[in-house]
Amino acid sequence: MNAQQYITVAENIMDTLNTEDRVTNEQLGISIQLININIELSKAKSLLNIHAMLQDINSTLSR
């Protein structure tokens, strides 16, 4: 997910909070946890991409 998608998720949560069908604190907590998990997954994917690039550079320099 990119930054715009996180903003959209946050806006959707706020829209939900502003409706008559209020979400419970537990539901909101779960939504926040899911956002945090997605952020951590994005970081992990970025690190894996960086690692792969560094391996490519290393193999190129080793030749």
Domain that holds residue 40: 3-62
Total count of domains within the chain: 1
CA-closest candidate to residue 9, choices 34, 27, 26, 29: 34
CB-CB contact of 58 with 17 (8 Å)? no
Model confidence at 1: pLDDT above 70: no
In the chain, the percentage of residues whose pLDDT exceeds 90 is: 27
Entry pTM: 0.54
Model confidence at 60: pLDDT above 80: yes
The predicted model gives 6-29 an average pLDDT of 74
Cα separation, 33 vs 37, whole angstroms: 6
Please report which confidence band the pLDDT of residue 62 belongs to, taking 50, 70 and 90 as the band edges.
very high
pLDDT at 22: 65
Model confidence at 57: pLDDT above 90: yes
